[in-house]
Amino acid sequence: MYLGWAYVGNRLLSATVEYEETGWYDGQVWIKSAQVLARDRLLGSYSIKVNTSRTGDVLTTVCIFLLVNIEGSQKVSYFSSQEPGGRSVVGVYKDDSARLFEPDDFCGEPSPQ
């Protein structure tokens, strides 16, 4: 919705309007007269741009709110005191699983039994 109103506002504030009569090959550029340009800029400045700036502010606030909540809800303890050395990511990495897939990396260390 925001992008649609921004497009309308930009066309109202512009001194020229590009349009196509029947297809991509016959595009034209219409240059607005002084009266039409003044009317369109008045309409665009006082109704469209005010609403799009408010909508943009609301969208920015909502995005920041969602970003803060997403980051806040993903509080994961990355260091586990239960794992040896306390350096494993909880729920992601386990030494037993790593030994199965990468046995050469654990040579010399005793395997748990």
Question: Does residue 99 have a pLDDT over 90?
Answer: no
Q: What is each CA distance from 65 to 52, 69, 76, in whole angstroms?
A: 20, 6, 20
User: Cα separation of 102 and 112, whole Å?
Assistant: 15
Q: Are residues 64 and 95 in the same domain?
A: no
CB-based burial label for 6 (10 Å; 0-12, 13-18, 19+): middle
Taking every pair of Cα atoms in the chain, the longest distance, rounded to a whole number of angstroms, is 88
Q: Are residues 80 and 70 in the same domain?
A: no
Q: Are residues 67 and 97 in the same domain?
A: no
Q: What residues form DSSP beta bridges with 27?
A: 20
pLDDT tens track for 54-72: 888 888 898 888 888 876 5
The whole-number pLDDT of residue 38 equals 93
List the domain range (segments joined by +) for residue 42: 1-75
28 part of a folded domain: yes
Has this prediction a pTM greater than 0.85? Answer: no
